[in-house]
Amino acid sequence: MSTLTMYDPGVEPVTRVRVLVGEDDDETRRDGKTAIAFSDCRYYCPDHKTAKRVIEALRDSDERLRARPEELMLWDWQSTYFEAETGDPQGGGTVLLGVAWYDEDFYTERKGAWFGAMHKRIYTELGVPLENVEVTHWRRDAA
């Protein structure tokens, strides 16, 4: 587990705690693949219990993905962090997750999956309202 603290004068410091290691922090997992796009996923959790459920669900999903190595050639999780909300007595905060996409067609087809029926059901089960989910995609410039 690593901790990254960012500082900006006049702004309350934010601490991110890495809770899961992904392909960006594990060279063997990346295995020489080059990402063509990335997704930044943020899940605001109103309390510690919700954050824990989200992190455990991501851990389970990662284990299922690693059991299907053919899919690791198309995409992979990046490291997951938890950013606690300063002064929140409930222990709420944001779970931050990245996705690295390695295949153009797969990215084009699946980048909207976070908004599909299956993911909406998962958010509901975890206690994360859809308005607390933010996903941003960006493309990597050609080398």
Q: What is the pLDDT of residues 91-134, one digit of tens each?
A: 899 999 999 999 999 999 989 888 888 889 999 999 999 999 99
Provide the b/e sequence for 29-68 (b: ≥16 CB within 10 Å). Answer: bbeebebbbbbebebbbbbbebbbbbbebbeeebeeeeee
Full domain range(s) for residue 100 = 3-138
Residue 33 lies in a domain: yes
Give the pLDDT confidence score for residue 125 in this predicted structure.
Answer: 94
Residue 143 lies in a domain: no
Mean pLDDT over 80-85 rounds to: 94
Residue 17 lies in a domain: yes
Give the pLDDT confidence score for residue 5 in this predicted structure.
Answer: 57
Beginning with the edge strand found earlier in the chain, give each strand of the sheet holding 133-139 in spatial order: 3-8, 11-20, 75-84, 93-101, 37-45, 133-139
**pTM of structure:** 0.84
Angle at 23 (CA atoms; ends 19, 27), nearest 5 degrees: 120
Q: Round to whole Å and give the CA distance between 86 and 105.
A: 40
In this prediction, residue 86 has a pLDDT band, given cuts at 50, 70 and 90, of confident
Average pLDDT over the chain, rounded to an integer: 88
Residue 22 lies in a domain: yes
Q: What six digits make up the tokens of 50? A: 């919700």
* Percentage, residues of the chain above pLDDT 90: 57
pLDDT at 70 over 80: no
- CA 66 to mean position of chain CA atoms: 16
Residue 122 lies in a domain: yes
Q: Are the CB atoms for 52 and 17 separated by under 8 Å? A: no
Residue 16 lies in a domain: yes
Domain count along the chain: 1
Q: CA quadruple 3, 126, 57, 44: dihedral positive or negative? A: negative
Residue 127 lies in a domain: yes
Residue 113 lies in a domain: yes
CATH of the domain at 10: 3.30.70
Give the pLDDT confidence score for residue 2 in this predicted structure.
Answer: 56
pLDDT at 64 over 80: yes
